Structure 1
């Protein structure tokens, strides 16, 4: 970790109050490593936080209340019903989740924080609360930022995996993949490796869509007709792009270790091997003006009220956001220096 000269302003959304989001946020506020390095702003219901504090051991309650007082909390306009029960998905949880995210995004416009770390929410609950199909925070934040594109990345010290398609059913994936989409996602990944991760080599591996690379068309033509031509075209501007690789051998034989990042064609192709080898992975949305990270897990309703909550991914999401902010700031300084006319 690189040291910040002044506390970094970190926004935290509470996520689904019925899940472990409030526990994750409280743990971050109480984390001793962040005391001098971070100033938190929490977006979400303060009453939920205080109710969750009461479930802590007595010796931890005073410490938690003191930690809350040192940071800023921006509450939701919609009050949490008194009968609200944690530990399960609900429409009320969806309302609170979306409202805290909306308020956080509104505060980004007023420069209220430097990076945003979002606690997990439930897509179905948010969809029910908003009467729309909510496919995930990545696309939602992209839409708010009016960005033409974004890239979902999973990041850890072991590997970096990005996705061509995100939250689509498997039946929709082949129709969604085309040369333009692959080119755009590869370009965003290359840019992120340079600007957000300060990666000197930017070696990128693209995975095949079909088993065994399509077996020369026997198992599908997407490799021959779409993926290979895409790689060939991309190499005219980005020479460090390779593939396509059959996913089973690529991960099974640890070929991913020879690359800085892997671009998977669909969600489970990339996330199953990632989550199988990472206990504190981080979700990062690349390609946006907002630096946003999140843990690589869901609301975990079954963990509420238990001592088995794993905080590592959420804490790592904060560290990753801090590192990306530092890398992006340094890159911008170098760019300005390089563009400055010589006297």
Structure 2
């Protein structure tokens, strides 16, 4: 696929009893989305119809198949991942919701590996009911990392006004400090730096790094990780031509709007980064997995069992996840073209002069 073509984007169902399928129906009821991508929903037409009936005045229409060759770029396609009847019970945490969420995800991953689709948007899963001998991961991110044999990945939350990445993800607070190492921070910074360049088109990205402790340790009074681990890691990153800064005190950093001066922020743990992000992103944040060979986004919320099946789910974040996925696929293609032909954006006059100089040599 070149950046001028419409990408084929796979959409997973998420937990069948959560708000995932409702969001999918609401999002792709707007036919204008077919101008930016060809959506392929990995689910089952009966499951999708179940939720279509819960939404009043929905213009959602689709074609269903089990053959990628039959995908029509002018239609929403349901790729039928199962044929059997499934009992859907909105708002219920049960084995059925998790099992079919994993089936949808596995088939989408296979399609990515076989290059049948160009990118992936994942609807929310519940981390408890997806657990099995085949799926023992704390979420999408570690599963994708294992599926594509990535050395490391970064959970990066994206919104129009900021990007917040994490060193540690879904780990207990009691374990966080043990996982904050210079190696971990350097690895995350390298991935963020590369992603900002190839996925977001920022040539010289600036990355802020937060401290672990209150007030970034107060010169060692309330913890010394900033002095012994984080600041040295930032210095090493600078030595590798990564424009990293910090460590900054997390509370003041967001309260004073300092994040606006940077292209991304690296937080040390989940709530340190996600509480300010979700507060400031105003319902349109997107979770992006940086460091993978493929493009994967998701909304920045969970299964929302409390409102599932009631037609009340807000599709803002899911819609942004689709846009972001399409944008990054296009940006990667453009970045690849630039690297293959660095003179592509140079004026014809400059190209001519450079070629003349080369001939004279």
TM-score normalised over the length of structure 1: 0.92
Cα distance in 1, alignment partners of residues 128 and 245 from structure 2: 37
How far the C-alpha of 1:282 sits from its partner, in A, is 0.1
Give the alignment's Cα RMSD to 1 decimal: 2.1
Does structure 1 residue 256 correspond to structure 2 residue 259?
A: yes
CA distance in 2, matches of 1:49, 1:158: 34
* Residue among 220, 227, 237 paired with 1:224: 227
1:42 corresponds to 2:23:
no
What residue is the counterpart of 1:12 in the other structure? 11
Are 2:3 and 2:329, in contact at CA under 8 Å, matched by a contact in 1?
no
The Cα shift of 1:194 comes to 0.6
User: Whole-Å Cα distance in 2 between the matches of residues 227 and 4 of structure 1?
Assistant: 38
Post-superposition CA distance 1:175-217 (Å, at most 9, x none): 0111111000000001111110111331110000001111222
Contact 1:9 1:41 in 2 (8 A): yes
How far the C-alpha of 1:241 sits from its partner, in A, is 0.9
Report the secondary structure of 1:216's partner residue.
coil
Unaligned runs of 5+ in 2: 65-74, 345-354
Structure 1 124/80 Cα, relative in aligned 2: closer, same or farther at 3 Å?
A: farther
Where does structure 1 lack aligned partners over 5 or more consecutive residues?
none
Q: Partner of 2:79 in structure 1?
A: 74
CA distance in 2, matches of 1:88, 1:228: 46
**Alignment match, 1:280:** 284
Distance 2:79 2:242 in 1: 46
**1:170 and 1:326 mapped to 2: Cα distance?**
38
CA distance in 1, matches of 2:209, 2:298: 24
Alignment of 1:1-343 (within 5 A): 5-57=4-56, 59-60=57-58, 63-64=59-60, 66-68=61-63, 70-77=75-82, 79-82=84-87, 84-127=88-131, 129-130=132-133, 133-278=136-281, 279-338=283-342
1:296 and 1:164, CA in 2 relative to 1: closer, same or farther beyond 3 A?
Answer: same
Deviation at 1:238, TM superposition (A): 2.2
Residue pair 1:201, 1:260 contacting (<8 A) in 2 also:
no
For the residues of structure 2 that align with 1:156 and 1:25, how far apart are their CA atoms? 20
> Highest Rg: 1 or 2?
2
Deviation at 1:132, TM superposition (A): 5.4
Aligned in 2, Cα 1:42/1:132: closer, same or farther, shift over 3 Å? closer
Q: CA deviation at 1:339?
A: 9.8
Number of residue equivalences: 335
TM-score by length of 2: 0.88
Q: Secondary structure at the match of 1:309?
A: coil
Q: Is the 8 A contact 1:97 1:126 kept in 2?
A: yes
Query: Which secondary structure does the structure 2 equivalent of 1:323 belong to?
Result: helix
Distance between the aligned counterparts of 2:83 and 2:240, measured in 1? Answer: 49
Residue in 1 that maps onto 2:71: none
Question: What is the CA-CA distance between 1:299 and the residue it aligns to?
Answer: 0.8
- Structure 1 pair 121–36 and aligned structure 2 pair: CA distance change class (3 A): same
- Per the TM alignment, residue 100 of structure 1 is displaced from its structure 2 partner at its CA by 0.5
Q: Helix, strand or coil: the match of 1:41?
A: strand
Shift of 1:68: 4.5
Q: Per the alignment, in what secondary structure is the counterpart of residue 338 of structure 1?
A: coil
- CA drift of 1:47 comes to 1.5
Could you tell me how far 1:237 is from its partner in structure 2?
A: 1.4
SS at match of 1:77: coil
Deviation per residue, 1:237-296 (Å, 9 max, x gap): 125210000100101111111111100000100000000011200000001011000000
